[in-house]
Structure 1
Amino acid sequence: MVVQRRPGGRSARVREQVHSAVIELILSRDWDQLSIPKVAENSGVHQATLYRRWGTVSAILSDAVSERLRERSPLPDTGNLQGDLTRWAEGMAADLASSEGRVFLRAALAVGLPLAESADDERPSYLLERSEGVRLILGNATKRGEFAPSQVDIFELVIAPIYAYSLFNRPIPRSRIDALVDRALNSKTS
């Protein structure tokens, strides 16, 4: 389900209340209580509104994760691909090194990752937004005449290792981030 957004007013307040409630629930690790009725109770937003706007807890979580990524891990534009990827990877690593960041990672995983052959409209919104952002970064690099690895290379060579470190509660060393970005930029598998 695609969430329709309006820039402000009541819709923005409702979204903020719902996100705050779901974030509070996941940070308190009350996963078993994560339900539309519980989110409604904690947010003060009627269940009917939650069902109409999001439909499922997974859609609410996906929307909250998307918002967090936009706020905490914006996609940079430094003027070169190495700078963009390095800054983005550093931000991602810093966010995932925090206990709150690891909880959000688990929330993103709880939403469920689609199979590779899933249609775009079946993927969580945060994956679609990130995928589009990475496409933009790579497209900008290509326009500047830089070699741009594929999105798959970026995922496998930069993003996945950073998330793996986080899943094992280990901060990724800064030197590893540079090595991951260098490896992606030197891959010619695209």
Structure 2
Amino acid sequence: MAGEVRRRPGGRSARVRQAVLDATVEVLLARGLADFRIAPVAALAGVHETSIYRRWGTREGLLGDALLHSAEHELRVPDTGRLREDLVTYAVRLAAYLATPVGRALDQVLVLGDDRPAMAEARARFWSERAAGSMAMITRAVERGELPATVDPRLAVEMLVGPVHFRLLLTRDPVDPALAARLVDAILRGIAMTSEVMDPVTRSS
């Protein structure tokens, strides 16, 4: 038993964190961003409000962590071994996730949240950590020789996810696999054209 306990340090802490994050999403879905408060989260998770403030600092920090945790589990970055398949799969998964109640809540927090420091920090952390994961699709493609080393991984990812967010958040138009493939092909053609333009400069330098 002692050995088992040693293999599971922090088990209760992890369970409490999961309970709070789950409660955060549930309260956000029930109340919306404008009426989101820490107190009902604490009550639902069975913890003290002070414990939440001590760990997350602000409601924005808690929201950012909860939504990032949800996205990490529900929106995994594919690794098919081919860039085009990775990008199409990711675009389809992103569209499906953003169409769920949690995905819509995510966009609401990121887009409708104010620009006070706490919210700005939570938003920046979310995008930074999500970008770090999704950029792996681009860096792997560069390593395989599918893309030139001059490609900006973050810009390439933003070119993919931007239209998906735009359609689902603003125009309310669907993003099906066929549209995702067209979008990816347009991005890859643009990257190829940019590479062709840059090659003569690179060779002459």
TM-score by length of 2: 0.76
Q: Which one-letter code corresponds to 2:160 in the other structure?
A: V
Q: What residue identity is the alignment partner of 2:141? A: A
Q: Is the 8 A contact 1:54 1:60 kept in 2?
A: yes
**Structure 2 unaligned blocks of 5 or more:** 1-7, 196-205
- 2:129 aligns with 129
**Match status 1:187 vs 2:190:** yes
| Counterpart residue identity of residue 184, structure 2 | V
Q: Of residues 66, 69, 88 in structure 1, which corresponds to 2:68?
A: 66
- Note the aligned Cα RMSD (angstroms): 2.7
- Measure the CA separation in 2 of the matches of 1:94 and 1:122: 23
Equivalent residue runs for 1:1-190 within 5 Å? 9-110=11-112, 123-147=123-147, 149-150=151-152, 151-155=154-158, 157-168=159-170, 169-188=172-191, 189=194
| Structure 1 pair 26–17 and aligned structure 2 pair: CA distance change class (3 A) | same
1:40 Cα offset (Å): 1.7
Superposition deviation, residue 113 in structure 1:
7.4
Letter of the 2:185 partner, please give it.
D
Letter aligned with residue 125 of structure 2: S
Question: 1:107 Cα shift?
Answer: 2.7
* More helix by percentage: 2
Deviations 1:83-115 (A, max 9, x none): 111111110011112344212321333556799
> Partners of 2:63 and 2:26 in 1: how far apart?
12
Query: Aligned equivalents of 1:132 and 1:7: distance in 2?
Result: 28
Query: Which is higher, the Rg of structure 1 or of structure 2?
Result: 2
CA 1:187–1:7 in 2, change beyond 3 Å: closer, same or farther?
farther
CA contact under 8 A between 2:23 and 2:45: conserved in structure 1?
Answer: yes
Contact kept, 8 Å, 1:114 with 1:123, in 2: the verdict is no
What are the superposed Cα offsets for residues 60-86 of structure 1, whole Å, 9 maximum, x if unpaired? 111111111111110111101111111
Figure out how many residues of one structure are paired with residues of the other and give that number: 180
Partner secondary structure for residue 33 of structure 1: coil
Identity %: 34
Letter in 1 for 2:99: A
TM-score by length of 1: 0.82
Q: Secondary structure of the equivalent of 1:34?
A: coil
Contact 1:26–1:107 (Cα < 8 Å) also in 2: no
Distance in 2, matches of 1:143 and 1:175, equals 27
> Cα distance 1:53–1:136, how it changes in 2: closer, same or farther (>3 A)?
same
Post-superposition offset of 1:170 = 2.6
- Runs of 5+ unmatched residues, structure 1: 1-5
CA positional deviation for 1:13: 1.2
The secondary structure found in structure 2 opposite 1:186 is helix
